[in-house]
Amino acid sequence: MKRKQRVISLALMAGLIFYQTALAPQPAHAMHIMEGFLPAGWAIFWWVVFIPFFLLGLRSITRIATQHPEVKLLLALAGAFTFVLSALKIPSVTGSCSHPTGTGLGAVLFGPLTMSVLGALVLLFQALLLAHGGLTTLGANAVSMAVVGPFFAYWLYRLIERGSGKQRFAIFAAAALADLLTYGVTSLQLALAFPAPIGGVLASFLKFAGIFAVTQIPLAISEGLLTVLVWNWLESYSREELDVLKLIKRGA
């Protein structure tokens, strides 16, 4: 009965996410770096950087799903959480926007390699179905949101959790850092592609990062708090699955 209640709860959450992102009317804004915005050379470069992480992530997800099928619902939840949060957009600069990322939760649950796949799938669906982002720039967007953010978030989570034992603070910090680093990397990507006539890459980076910071810092704090709330919900209704994930991380 308890298992059935968890399935129903996750199904209702998925339905709400679908309504908010696909059915509810929303203004259209570009998400991350929009289609065709990067020069071809830089677009290809970021694809080359991203593909190895994606392949390693596929292997990680396949192993987890095969050996521990009971956590598949949590995999779906992590992907859905990323999808809905990253669809909440606040325009901030030409060719991009500010929004939560939602990758911290999945990084804490499954590790950063898993998020390289889930994050890329989120970006792909949003590019195809919601016209957010693009296919040529998907490699660049995935490096910022699905690779750098989750990896540093996971390392920070482990550092704080092991050092102080304050798990909820570790989750908050990890989610907020994943959000902020996504936009730090995006700012760098834009600066490399479009260096300022005076000051070059550094001046361009400071310009993009400064504009992002106005909206991204409060968004990162809000995302951290929301991620802690979701974690509390999981501890109440998915304790068995969380225990399985702990064993996975220990190499069991």
The DSSP bridge partners found for residue 200 are 196
Question: What tokens appear for 213 in the block?
Answer: 């910071």
Does residue 96 or residue 147 have the better pLDDT? 147
pTM, rounded to two decimals: 0.82
User: Tell me, what's the pLDDT at 25?
Assistant: 38
Q: Which structural domains are found in the chain, ordered by start? A: 2-6+29-249 (1.10.1760.20)
Q: Which letter does DSSP use for residue 70 in this model?
A: G
User: Tell me, what's the pLDDT at 68?
Assistant: 86
The DSSP bridge partners found for residue 141 are none
The model's confidence at residue 15, banded by pLDDT at 50, 70 and 90, is very low
User: Tell me, what's the pLDDT at 19?
Assistant: 41
DSSP string, 113-177: HHHHHHHHHHHHHHHHHS--S-STTHHHHHIIIIIIHHHHHHHHHHHHHHHH--HHHHHHHHHHH
pLDDT tens by residue, 209-251 = 887 777 788 889 999 999 999 999 988 888 888 877 877 766 5
User: Tell me, what's the pLDDT at 20?
Assistant: 44
Q: Which of 129, 179, 188, 130 is nearest to 150 (CA)?
A: 179
